[in-house]
Chain A
């Protein structure tokens, strides 16, 4: 079966597309509404700029770095940008975790070039204290990168910093390619703290925002590279939350060697249980369905969990099982026992030597999002 059109088919397609589109409605205030929205976006940035002194104070507490890794580019050597041909994503540095990239990450800070960003590579860190811990995705983000990075460069108003300390699952490295050919590297973690602060320009974005937006965009782009599979049926809560793998399904996304749940979730089910003191089990309390946005936000937050020893007394907090499904039909259940330090139970299939470590303690972000999602959607 050919994937090219013959002339007749092409003509038919053009005619069908053209004749199907209805007349555009008359919209007298389309321009003024767009301008108003545009001004609002700008005003938000200006207001946040007024908080810049606070940003400086916060930023020095966070050891982050920003460097230029485009060593082959003339712009990289001088620290300034020149007008060269736009960079194709294929010209990106080979890997986020190569030695060269790591060594340059601590070099002098350089400003972002005054050019649109054209591509972005998001490398999550999925192991602690390993040189190659940054996982290198096969896809480079290109969709809406210009606007995404432009928003990051505009300062943000919320700077309530809570450093996450020695975390493992929520660190990331970004490579950002600009239209002039230069490439910047940026390392941070998914805390409320700033990713970077430069003297020459306003760059004030929290690591959590970068992590959320990059993970979301990466998940979406990955989903477009894999075959879509029709949903297998309704999502169901596990009868026993401490054995979460029973209803898991392995779709094509399980072959990705990147992180436990790399592809965007398209739907989900959040199940709540109470612990039963006498037999160590859990009693089902209820469930709420999640739309794609809610499910994917929880998927991203799950990845910010850490590894560690469980060392706390059991509380009366609930147990949540989160059932997620992506476009490829992969279905995973993750249980977070908030009554026991946020211990996570999940089953992630083995993929050769580079198995991503799986968080076993929920982050504060994940815990809060589980609780607030349940509170927002519960109907009782």
Chain B
């Protein structure tokens, strides 16, 4: 069992971490979230793997854990409008950092449920129904979270197309 679990984590751990980073906006918290979800899911690895997708199970655990923990552990998250100076930063690195900050700032305005729906719909590319299954909630709840999230994101750079380089 442990070998199969190791193989699963080696293959899918990075993908889980990327989703966790979008949820938390922080590398350390993302790792913490992935670890917790994997630990919760580990005892059920064999059982769940036999009847379906263990990754879906871990992801669901991760998203629900995120929603549960958000208020208890991660209230300190405060996106900043100013980045620390990096003398060695190349222009493309600065642009990536700016996009990252835009995303962190915009996502930080959303509730945990809204943020989870946005990440599942537009990063993990799930349908509304799949998102509802993943979060263990009704389709109506997903639609409500989605609508409120989009309203909240109006005006943020997240919804604006990137300008061509020569237009800058």
Tell me the chain B residues, 149-164 only, with Cβ under 8 Å from chain A. Answer: 150-151, 153-154, 157-162
Q: Which residues of B contact A36 (CB under 8 A)?
A: 39
CB contact between B123 and one of A14, A31, A88 (< 8 Å): that residue:
A14
- For chain A, give the interface size range: 35 or more
Whether A27 sits at the interface, judged by CB under 8 Å, is yes
- For chain B, give the interface size range: 35 or more
CB contact between A17 and one of B34, B39, B64, B103 (< 8 Å): that residue:
B103
Q: Interface readout for A56-90 with B: 1 if CB under 8 Å, 0 if not? A: 00000000000000000000000000000000111
User: How near does chain A come to B64, taking the closest CB pair, in angstroms?
Assistant: 4
Measured CB to CB, the nearest residue on chain A to B149 is A3
Interface 9-mer from A180-188, A288-296, A336-344, A351-359? A288-296
Which residue, of A8, A10, A24, has the highest number of chain B Cβ atoms within 10 A? A24
CA distance A261 to B150 in the complex (A): 30
Q: Is the CB of A11 within 8 A of B161?
A: yes
CA distance A39 to B42 in the complex (A): 8
Q: Is the CB of B136 within 8 A of A118?
A: yes
Mostly helix, strand, loop or mixed at chain B's interface?
A: helix
Q: A17-B123, A35-B2, A41-B39 known; A224 and B111 CB under 8 Å? A: yes
CA distance A4 to B150 in the complex (A): 7
Q: Is the CB of B103 within 8 A of A143?
A: no
Measured CB to CB, the nearest residue on chain A to B9 is A31
Q: Interface readout for B57-76 with A: 1 if CB under 8 Å, 0 if not? A: 00001001101101111010
> 15 more A-B contacts (CB under 8 A) besides A5-B150, A25-B31, A296-B71?
A1-B154, A2-B150, A14-B125, A16-B158, A17-B158, A35-B2, A37-B35, A37-B38, A90-B138, A143-B64, A143-B137, A145-B136, A147-B61, A292-B72, A296-B72
